[in-house]
Structure 1
Amino acid sequence: MTLRSAPVTRLPAVLALLAALLASTAPWATAADAPTVSLSTSRAGTGGTITVKGDGWRPRTLLMLLVCGQSSPARGVVGGTNSCANGDGRAVTTDARGGFSRKLPVVEPPRPCPCVVHVASVTGPAKTRSDAVLVVAGHPVKPLPAESEGRLSMVTDARLDGSSGLLTWFGSPPARTLTFTVGNVGTAPVKDPVFQVGTSHGVFAPAYEEQQWRGTVPPGRKARIELPVELTAGAHGNYLVSLKYGGQVLAEQPWGVGRPWGVTLFWALLCVVVPAAVFRIGMAVVDRLRPRDRYVPGRHRGAQRLAELTARLPKARPPRRSPRPAPAQDPAGVAASPTTTLPWFTPDTGPGATTAGQLSAPPDDSRTTKGNT
C-alpha cells in the first residue's frame, strides 16, 4: 500500500513545478497590463534623432509614433492630432512579444510644448495609446489649459442613419448621417466642438476629416449630434466609420455598401448598342457608295428594283379589229342575211353550175390573161 500511494502524493508537487517552469519561459504572461513607451533621451534638438522603445503592446499590431505639442502623459494630446507633427511621424509593427524599437526624427510640433512622443495603435479591435515626455530644445513652451475647461466624452447609441437611393445604384456617392450622444464631463461649457470623422476600407487606416458641430454643450449635460458621412462615387464593400475627439476614438460603426449594379448594366448595354449603331452606319455608307446600274439583291432594294423592271417592259396594246362589212340589201330594201362564202362555191351553186356566179371555171366569153388585150 505504501509503494502504490507514493506517486499519488508527489503529483501535486510535480504539477506546481511544471507551472513555475512555464511561467518562467513565457515572458508575455508577466507583461504589464498597460503598454509602456521609453525614449533613448528625454531632451533633444530639432534635426536630431531619438530611439523609441515599447513593451506590453498587442503582438503584431501597427503603431504610429508622433511628436506632439500641448500634451502630457496624464492628459494625453489635448489639442488632438492637429497638435502633432503628422508629416514626420513613423510607423512600426510590434513583434510576437508585443515590443518594438524605432528611430524617430525630432521636429517642432505645430503647438508649443510641453511635448510628448505619442504612440497609438492603428489596427486592432481596441485602441491603445501611451505617451513619453520629450523636451524639444528651442521650441516655445506654453502652459496647458486648465482642467476646468469642458471635456466631451462618448455616452451611448452611436449609429448610422439613412439609406441608399436610386442614384446610388448607378454609382452616386453613398451618404449616411452619423448620429451619437456626447456628454460634457468638465466644469465649463463646450461651444462648437470640432470632431474628426474618418472612413476606412479593409486593412487601410481611416482618413479623417474635421467637422464642426454648431452648438453648445453645458457642463454635466448631454447633446445629440449628427454629422454627415459620404464615400467616393462607386464605393462598395465593407467600410468602418470612426469618430474622434481630442485625440480619442469615441465610436466606430461598420457600414456595408452594396455594389452599384446600375453601372454594370449601363456598360453592358453600351457594349451592345454601340456596335449595333456602328454596323447600321456602315451599312448606310455602303448603300450610298453602291453603284446604281448593277443589280444587287437585298431586302431594302427588292421593291424598288421590281418597279424599275416593270416600267421598262413594253406596254401591251389591244389587237386591231377590221371593220365588219355592212350587210347587203336587196332591191326591196331588205337587208340580206349574211352568208358564208367559200373559196370555190356558194350554197346556191354547186361545182357543176353554169351561172355567172360560179367560181370553178371562167365562162367562155370572159377575157383571159393569155392572148387577150
Structure 2
Amino acid sequence: MSGKARNLRLAALVAVLALLLVPVGGPASAAGGPGVKLSATQAGAGGSVTVSGTGWRPHTLLMLLVCGRATPSRGVIGGTNSCANGDGRAVTTGAQGVFSRKLPVAEPPVPCPCVVHVATVTGAQAEADAVLQVAGHPVAPLPAERSGGRLAVLSDTRLTGSSGPLTWFGAPPSRTLVFTVGNTGTSTIEDPVFQVGSAHGVFAPQWDDRQWHGRLAPGRKAEVRLPVELSAGAHGDYTVSLKYDGRVLAEQPWGVGRPWGVTLFWILLCLVVPAALFRIGMAVVDRVRPRRSGGSHRTGPPSLPRPAALRLPRPAALRLPRPAALRLPRLPRSRTPEPPPANPTLPWFAPHSGPGDPACRLSAPHNDSPSSPTTPTRKGPT
C-alpha cells in the first residue's frame, strides 16, 4: 500500500471520528450561554423529539416551540406568530440549570427552515434555537437581510411615569418605555418604526407600531421614548417587548395593580340595588294592602301579642276610724213669721230722741240701765 493511500484512509478515519463526536442538534448558543440540543434533527408531523438544555438559570420557566422562518443565527423572523403555539410545551429548569422535555412535532404556520425555539417566560430574557427539519413541510428561502443601518439596544430598558387616579377606577394604565439604541450598520437610519407589544402571563404579545422621529448616523446612539398603554381594567404581571425589523430587542416586566375602585363600586352596587328594590316593594305592598275600617292604619310587620300582665294582690288598706262629727244643736224655726210692728220705733240711741222719750223707753231697759237684765246688780254694803 502506497503512502498516499494510507494518508487518505487516515483522513477518512479522522473525519468519521469528528462526525461521531459532534452532538446531534448541537446547541445554537455561544459558549457559556444557554444551550439546546435535540434527540433527532429530522422528524415528521405527529412525531416527537426530546429537547435538552444546559446553562439556563436555575428554577426558570421555559417555553418550547416549533417555529418556521428561523435559523439559529437570525432567530425567529416574525416572532411567535411564526410558531406552532398550540403544540408548545413548558418546562422548569432544575437547580443546575438543566432540563429535558419531550416535544411533539407540529407544522408551523409558515414555511421552513424550522427550529425548536426555547425562551424564558419570566425574568431576564434568554433564548436559544436548535435546527429541526419537519418532514413534508414546505421550505422557502428567508427574506434577505437589510444592508445598511442596524439598530441595537445599548442600555437596559425601563418604564417611567405613573398612572392617574382614574386608573384606580379602571382607566387604561400607561407608561413610557425608555431605552438607548445605537446604529451598528454602515448607513443612516431615519425615522425608524418600532413595534411595542404587551403580553399577560404566557400569552403572545399584541404588537403596536410606534415611530420614532429622528436620524441616527452610523456609530451614533440616541435615547428613544415610546408610549405604552394597556387595556382598561388591566391588572397583574405584564411583559412589555420591543421589536425592530422582526427582531426582539428588549423586554421589560411591568406589574400593574388591581383597580380597587371598580371592586368598591360593585360592592356598593350589590348593597344599594337590593335595598332600593326592597323599599320599592314595601311601598307597593303598602299601597295595595287593604286598610282597616277604623283607627289608624299601621304599616310594617304584624305585632306580636303582649304577654298577660302579672297582677300582684294589693296589701290591705289601713283604715283608721273617722273622728266623730261635731254636731251643733239646731235652733227651732218658727213656722209662722211674726208680722212687723205697725209703728216702728227707732232705738233709744237714735238721734233726735232722748232717753226720756216715751218712744225710746219702749225699747230701752226699764231701769234705764245699759246693763243686760240677766246681769245682777251689784250692791254696796249697807
TM range (shorter): 0.5 to 0.7
Q: How many Å apart are 1:248 and its aligned residue?
A: 3.2
Cα distance change on mapping 1:84 and 1:62 into 2, 3 Å: same
Cα distance change on mapping 1:45 and 1:186 into 2, 3 Å: farther
Amino acid at match of 2:271: C
Residue 296 of structure 2 is matched in structure 1 by 296
Aligned residues: 266
Query: Is residue 211 from structure 1 mapped to residue 208 from structure 2 by the alignment?
Result: yes
Separation (CA, whole Å) in 1 of partners of 2:284 and 2:40: 83
Separation (CA, whole Å) in 1 of partners of 2:261 and 2:142: 56
Cα distance change on mapping 1:146 and 1:263 into 2, 3 Å: closer
Q: How many Å apart are 1:208 and its aligned residue?
A: 0.9
Q: How many Å apart are 1:120 and its aligned residue?
A: 1.2
Kept in 2, the 8 Å contact 1:52–1:103? The answer is yes
Residue 363 of structure 2 is matched in structure 1 by none
Q: How many Å apart are 1:52 and its aligned residue?
A: 1.7
What's the TM-score, normalizing by structure 1?
A: 0.59
Q: How many Å apart are 1:143 and its aligned residue?
A: 4.1
Q: How many Å apart are 1:211 and its aligned residue?
A: 0.8
Query: Is residue 131 from structure 1 mapped to residue 99 from structure 2 by the alignment?
Result: no
Cα distance change on mapping 1:289 and 1:209 into 2, 3 Å: same
Is there any run of 5+ residues in structure 1 with no aligned partner, and where?
1-31, 300-349, 354-373
Separation (CA, whole Å) in 1 of partners of 2:75 and 2:212: 25
Amino acid at match of 1:153: A
Kept in 2, the 8 Å contact 1:71–1:144? The answer is no
Separation (CA, whole Å) in 2 of partners of 1:247 and 1:99: 26
Residue 224 of structure 2 is matched in structure 1 by 224
Q: How many Å apart are 1:247 and its aligned residue?
A: 4.8
Separation (CA, whole Å) in 1 of partners of 2:63 and 2:168: 37
1:190-339 to structure 2, matched below 5 A, reads: 193-200=193-200, 204-205=201-202, 207-214=204-211, 218=216, 220=218, 222=222, 224-233=224-233, 235-236=234-235, 239-245=237-243, 246-248=246-248, 250-257=250-257, 259-261=259-261, 263-264=263-264, 267-268=267-268, 271-272=271-272, 274-275=274-275, 278-279=278-279, 281-283=281-283, 285-296=285-296
SS of residue matched to 2:254: strand
Q: How many Å apart are 1:264 and its aligned residue?
A: 0.9
Separation (CA, whole Å) in 2 of partners of 1:247 and 1:90: 22
Q: How many Å apart are 1:282 and its aligned residue?
A: 0.8
Residue 48 of structure 2 is matched in structure 1 by 49
1:22-37 to structure 2, matched below 5 A, reads: 33-37=32-36
Is there any run of 5+ residues in structure 2 with no aligned partner, and where?
1-30, 300-336, 341-382
What RMSD in Å do the two structures reach over aligned CA positions? 3.5
Residue 74 of structure 2 is matched in structure 1 by 75
Q: Deviations over 1:293-335 (max 9, x none)?
A: 2213559xxxxxxxxxxxxxxxxxxxxxxxxxxxxxxxxxxxx
More helix by percentage: 1
Separation (CA, whole Å) in 1 of partners of 2:88 and 2:266: 44
SS of residue matched to 1:213: strand
Indicate the larger mover: 252-261 or 96-105.
Answer: 252-261
Separation (CA, whole Å) in 2 of partners of 1:290 and 1:267: 37
Kept in 2, the 8 Å contact 1:211–1:227? The answer is no
Q: How many Å apart are 1:122 and its aligned residue?
A: 1.4
Q: How many Å apart are 1:209 and its aligned residue?
A: 0.7
Kept in 2, the 8 Å contact 1:119–1:131? The answer is yes
Query: Is residue 94 from structure 1 mapped to residue 93 from structure 2 by the alignment?
Result: yes
Q: How many Å apart are 1:276 and its aligned residue?
A: 5.1
Separation (CA, whole Å) in 2 of partners of 1:181 and 1:91: 32
Indicate the larger mover: 267-276 or 96-105.
Answer: 267-276
What's the TM-score, normalizing by structure 2?
A: 0.58
Q: How many Å apart are 1:147 and its aligned residue?
A: 5.9
Separation (CA, whole Å) in 1 of partners of 2:47 and 2:272: 64
Amino acid at match of 1:174: P
Kept in 2, the 8 Å contact 1:151–1:190? The answer is no
Separation (CA, whole Å) in 1 of partners of 2:274 and 2:259: 25
1:143-158 to structure 2, matched below 5 A, reads: 143=142, 145-146=144-145, 148=147, 150-156=149-155, 158=158
Q: How many Å apart are 1:271 and its aligned residue?
A: 1.1
Amino acid at match of 1:213: R
Separation (CA, whole Å) in 1 of partners of 2:139 and 2:153: 33
Cα distance change on mapping 1:171 and 1:126 into 2, 3 Å: closer
Q: Identity, % of aligned pairs? A: 41
Q: Deviations over 1:60-112 (max 9, x none)?
A: 22211122233222232243223322233222222333222222233333444
Kept in 1, the 8 Å contact 2:163–2:175? The answer is yes
Separation (CA, whole Å) in 2 of partners of 1:80 and 1:45: 23
Separation (CA, whole Å) in 2 of partners of 1:136 and 1:254: 37
Kept in 2, the 8 Å contact 1:35–1:129? The answer is yes
Separation (CA, whole Å) in 2 of partners of 1:214 and 1:177: 14
Separation (CA, whole Å) in 1 of partners of 2:79 and 2:145: 16
Q: Deviations over 1:128-182 (max 9, x none)?
A: 221112233442230452362543322446323342233x333334333434443
SS of residue matched to 1:279: helix
Residue 121 of structure 2 is matched in structure 1 by 122
Q: How many Å apart are 1:219 and its aligned residue?
A: 5.0
